[in-house]
Amino acid sequence: MKAFSELKRTHTCGELRPSDIGKKVRLNGWVNSQRNLGGLLFIDLRDRYGLSQVVINPETFDPTMLAVAQRTRSEFVLAVVGTVMARPEGTVNEKLDTGGIDVNVEEFYILSESKTPPFEIEDETTARDVLRLEYRYLDLRRRPLQERIRARHDITLAVRNYLAGQGLYEIETPLMIRSTPEGARDYVVPSRVSHGKFYALPQSPQLFKQILMVAGFDKYFQIARCLRDEDLRADRQPEHTQIDLEMSFVTPDDVFTLVEDLMADVFKKILNVEITTPFPRFTYEEVMNRWGIDKPDLRFGMEIVDLSDVVADCEFKVFADNVKGGGVVKGIVLKGGGTYSRKQVDEMTTRARDLGAGGLAYILRAEGGDKSPILKFIGEDVKDQLIERAAVKVGDALFIIADARLKTEEILGQLRLHLGRQHDLIDKSQWSFLWVNEFPLFEFDEESKRFSAMHNIVSHPLEADLPLIDEGFGSDLPGTDLNHPWRRARANQYDLVINGWEIASGGQRINRRELQQKILNILGIDDARAERMFGFLLRALEYGAPPHAGIAAGLDRLVALMTGSESIRDVIAFPKTANAMSLMDGSPAKIDPEQLEELGLMIKPEEKES
């Protein structure tokens, strides 16, 4: 066999066109398929650029090479030398870029053989996920995955170019840091040199990017890997990638503008879609009120309507008492829902109950009159007022929940999404971008009676709410006072939402030690522990920390969204399973006893299950 240097491709498998007819070429690639037809051997040769059909005529072919060609199987890697020919009339394949030509093979070589793959390399596959992950290199050969990985590259490159063009420096921050939990559990790395000590893998570059601001690099970005040891929900990965950025001497408005322009640029370059900037902005309060979720999908309507005042004094105790007790009565209108059957209503009620509702009230407006089990309690008059308030047309349905405010909104928000999907109300041709800002600074956990940071321990309180921080220290126990100042404090913290997905999250950061320490105190971290965990940040804040703000966008989600992928797994070359395992390399795995010894570690024997 010739040396590979003599067989190296002159063209890729996606490159040849009728204008190349007559050229002598060499192609390298994988056998996608082969067939014998009319005495000829046809092979589709594949690489990441496309497919080319190569043809062998056994009558005129070198017998030794023919024998080699005949034992070729799917996924063998070949080198062929041949001449580009026009396809005979009637056999042109319009669907293929190379569909106008064949390569008439004169020399044929196998560069590498393949076992029979455990599944076929096809665009659509029914192969089980575990098999696809174990043989990820075969799965990745499939065209849809090739396209997504390529899109990921294109998007990443566009992001990099854009941000660098705006004067942001790309700076790497360490992968081995001190454990500073940011909400999830840290992955930890034992130190060999310092026994009993551990590094942590960063959940994000958050504190380091802030320290870069203190260091005077006033515009920073990084395509950063973030590692979080959390129980994996549907679309989470233990490692994900963020487009992380931070700037000094800016206000959140500057961050919004930069990200809006970045998105406009990337969507134009990659999808040729013009998106309108600036994006609408809503406060957290407003989105919860109107759509019952902090990442609303605005590609369809069905806003939540407040009905509380209409029913506050009605005869129906469930409504009236709830409003008097500080709760709300709210509803959503389903267009065309007036003809809902008993079964459909029951299904909605079950869904509402599963979401935590005590029940679901409704009014169905059909041609023949209004149907509602609560009619006998509320009376015609209140019913008419409800219909008017919610603008329920004949043919529509009004679904009503009565409960505490946030709970009511959240349940209706979920029902709205469900109905939107079920009835195909979402306009898939639209891109809906929006900002949500002014998130609550803290969340109060009723069980542990503790505050946690709703987003980030470094989020700066909204300027107007700064007094609430000090006020809170003098107030009653937050557990009993539902109006406690810390429950009311809002953060200068924002999310970017696209089509109902939270794509980016960021905020203005605290740049004074005193305030940072107070916030840590509120989170139950006393000064000694604050020093232990965050001493390096607190100290940096004592040496001239400029006002700064930033954001991080989830690259995996953005790529999934832009490529229409259902899962972020499809846009990550080597993803992990829901149990955080990599089936291809078999990690996590045990390590040698010598390695443990060196690290000064002992593994506790597994407890036997009784």
Q: Would you tell me which residues interact with ligand ASP (CB under 6 A)?
A: 204, 206, 456, 505-507, 550-552
Tell me the closest approach of the beta carbon of residue 52 to ligand ASP, in angstroms: 45
Tell me the closest approach of the beta carbon of residue 550 to ligand ASP, in angstroms: 5
Tell me the closest approach of the beta carbon of residue 197 to ligand ASP, in angstroms: 25
Query: Residue with structure tokens 């487009």?
Result: 243
Q: Which long-range contacts (C-beta less than 8 Å, at least 24 apart) are formed by 315-318?
A: 315/377, 315/378, 315/379, 316/374, 316/377, 316/378, 316/382, 317/377, 318/358, 318/359, 318/361, 318/402
Cβ(46)–Cβ(30) under 8 Å? yes
Give 337 or 506: the residue with its C-beta nearer to ligand ASP. 506
Query: Residue with structure tokens 């047309």?
Result: 393
Q: Distance of CA 441 to CAs 444, 465, 466, 491, Å?
A: 10, 10, 11, 5
The CA distance from 218 to 397, in Å, is 54
Give 99 or 507: the residue with its C-beta nearer to ligand ASP. 507
Residue type, 418: H
Cβ(431)–Cβ(275) under 8 Å? yes
β-pairing verdict for 361-366 and 369-371: antiparallel
Give 206 or 582: the residue with its C-beta nearer to ligand ASP. 206
Tell me the closest approach of the beta carbon of residue 180 to ligand ASP, in angstroms: 11
The CA distance from 355 to 345, in Å, is 15
Tell me the closest approach of the beta carbon of residue 503 to ligand ASP, in angstroms: 12
Q: Bin 185: left if φ > 0, else alpha if -120 < ψ < 50, else beta.
A: beta
Give 264 or 503: the residue with its C-beta nearer to ligand ASP. 503
The CA distance from 564 to 231, in Å, is 25
Tell me the closest approach of the beta carbon of residue 553 to ligand ASP, in angstroms: 9
Tell me the closest approach of the beta carbon of residue 207 to ligand ASP, in angstroms: 9
Give 183 or 190: the residue with its C-beta nearer to ligand ASP. 183
Tell me the closest approach of the beta carbon of residue 454 to ligand ASP, in angstroms: 11
Query: H/E/C letters for each residue in 444-459?
Result: EECCCCEEEECCCCCE
Cβ(77)–Cβ(114) under 8 Å? yes
In this structure, what token pair is assigned to residue 344? 């459909």
Tell me the closest approach of the beta carbon of residue 456 to ligand ASP, in angstroms: 5
Give 136 or 548: the residue with its C-beta nearer to ligand ASP. 548
Residue nearest to ligand ASP (CB): 204
Give 505 or 517: the residue with its C-beta nearer to ligand ASP. 505
Give 131 or 175: the residue with its C-beta nearer to ligand ASP. 175
DSSP 326: T
Give 328 or 553: the residue with its C-beta nearer to ligand ASP. 553
